């Protein structure tokens, strides 16, 4: 968007806000967010996702179904396997940005020197 573009100040429509809220609602699950993070790194089948995320196969399949119905994930068949992937680069950007920033913050806080708290004598 160009500087001074009026569109940057317009509120999105109610439909757009509802769609965004639904997507964020789906990503509010740690398991689904982990699945999205993993798929942002590259496509995968349900077995590999279950191993990586640490969930049971049926639970991961249910999460993938919800993400697929919401249009956040797509799949294709490769022989007997169903391979899942994120087909929307904007979703990948949001997930990588949010999770990446929080992970960086956690790493930074873990390596930051301990600050001594001085009593004020009050």
Residue ranges of domains in the chain: 28-62+71-109
Q: Round the average pLDDT of the chain to a whole number and report it.
A: 85
Higher pLDDT among residues 50 and 112, named by residue: 50
CA-wise closest residue to 36 among 81, 98, 107:
98
pTM of the full structure? 0.74
- β-strands 81-85, 44-45 pairing: antiparallel
Q: What would the CATH number be for the domain defined by 28-62+71-109?
A: 1.10.10.10
> pLDDT per residue over 2-39, tens digit each?
555 556 678 999 998 998 888 888 888 999 999 999 99
Q: In the structure, what pLDDT confidence band is assigned to residue 56 with cuts at 50, 70 and 90?
A: very high
Dmax of the chain from CA atoms? Answer: 72
């Amino acid at each position: 968007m160009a500087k001074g573009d009026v569109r940057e100040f317009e509120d999105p429509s109610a439909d757009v806000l509802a769609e965004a809220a639904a997507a964020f609602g789906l990503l509010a699950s740690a398991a689904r967010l982990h699945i999205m993070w993993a798929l942002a790194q590259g496509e995968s089948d349900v077995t590999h996702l279950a191993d990586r995320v640490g969930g049971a196969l049926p639970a991961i399949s249910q999460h993938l179904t919800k993400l697929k119905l919401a249009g956040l994930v797509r799949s294709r068949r490769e022989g007997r396997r169903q391979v899942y992937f994120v087909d929307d680069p904007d979703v990948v950007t949001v997930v990588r940005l949010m999770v990446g920033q929080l992970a960086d913050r956690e790493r930074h806080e873990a390596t930051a020197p301990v600050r001594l708290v001085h009593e004020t004598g009050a």
